[in-house]
Chain A
Amino acid sequence: MKLALLSALNARIANREATVLVTEMATGATRLVTPEQVMQDPLGEVLAEAFRTGKSGLVEEGRAFLNVHLPPVKLIVTGAVHISQALAEMARLAGLDCTIIDPRTAFATPERFPNVTLLAEWPDQAFLRVKPDRFTAFVALTHDPKIDDPGLVAALRAQCFYIGALGSRKTHAKRVERLQSQGFSEAEIARIHAPIGLDIGAVSPPEIAVSILGEIIATMRAKRRAA
């Protein structure tokens, strides 16, 4: 592969742009295909399918190899707290694209959160830029309804594949009441994982981060687990 082609691929990955790297097995020729170029490409339908499923593999009886690069799953966290410091690090290792939102500037400092997108803004404002979608995991960690609730509302509306909220059962019962008064159904509210995280008896903030990340991965790979 040419270095220039790799640079172009890396630039697209960094910009969260879906791309397929096609390698013709007979000649070794390589090319990048973007979703917009699919229909002009000789492998049109096969490429369209690859963008849909995200699956890399040999196609056309082994004549070409497709390596599919879809944007990584997003993780949006409200709360620049102790748990999110550990969670941000671990999420990066797991290949998730993590953003931390907290309007409290004493918490949201770059010193506490190196190597992660940090928005010292209210969720409503931050969500205009970091749009949650079905490929997003949302985690509410502030314990403060003023910050967590707008995040949960946006996450429920955007049908995030995972939604979790920190807090005791009592805290969550109050949260449920508030969301009901905002018009969310029982089924919608039941999508929120609370208490958050897998039950591994986590105590310290990094341990709680492991249990949260474990639950996100379990949800993300649910189909594979069932298979």
Chain B
Amino acid sequence: MTLNDSDLLARAEEWAKAGRGVAIATVIETWGSAPRPVGSHLVIDSEGNFEGSVSGGCVEGAVVAEALEVIESGKPRNLEFGVADETAWRVGLSCGGKIAVRVEPLT
């Protein structure tokens, strides 16, 4: 089943109430041709399960990895992905766009 962004937040709540650690990633800024608009969500649990997307599948792997650390530490992080950051993150957006993603723990 595919979830829209409202369903994703409901899913995050469900997971948290079931006792799982949860982080919510949100696209907060985009430059150029970004695949998902500002406000889009990816929700991640402590087991690495995830639903939704912040890009067309280009950087989700990296966001999930960061999210696991965010769940662990309880501290939010801001991430940037794009052409300019390829060396830093080793993942880029093939579309040539750039996005900023905030990953927040659910506490």
B16 with A1: CB separation less than 8 A: no
Majority SS of interface residues in chain A?
mixed
Distance of B10 from chain A, by nearest CB (Å) = 5
Distance of B11 from chain A, by nearest CB (Å) = 10
Given contacts A23-B102, A56-B38, A68-B39, contact A6 B28 (CB under 8 A): no
Q: Within B35-67, which residues are at the interface with A (CB < 8 Å)?
A: 37-39
Q: Within A58-115, which residues are at the interface with B (CB < 8 Å)?
A: 58, 65, 67-69, 72, 93-95
B106 CB within 8 Å of chain A? yes
Given contacts A1-B107, A23-B102, contact A6 B6 (CB under 8 A): no
A10 CB within 8 Å of chain B? yes
Tell which of A2, A10, A13, A23 touches B107, judged by Cβ atoms closer than 8 Å. Answer: A2
Distance of B1 from chain A, by nearest CB (Å) = 8
Rounded to whole angstroms, the CA-CA distance of A67 and B105 in the bound complex is 16
Interface size of B by Cβ–Cβ distance < 8 Å? 24
What mask results when residues 152 to 179 of chain A are scored 1 for a CB within 8 Å of chain B, else 0?
0000000000000000000000000000
By beta carbon, the residue of chain B nearest A95 is B4
Distance of B29 from chain A, by nearest CB (Å) = 6
B2 CB within 8 Å of chain A? yes
B38 with A1: CB separation less than 8 A: no
Q: Which B residues are in CB contact (< 8 Å) with A93?
A: 2, 4
Rounded to whole angstroms, the CA-CA distance of A86 and B4 in the bound complex is 18
B104 with A65: CB separation less than 8 A: no
Binding site for B on A (CB under 8 A): 1-3, 6-7, 9-10, 13-14, 23, 25, 28, 30, 55-58, 65, 67-69, 72, 93-95
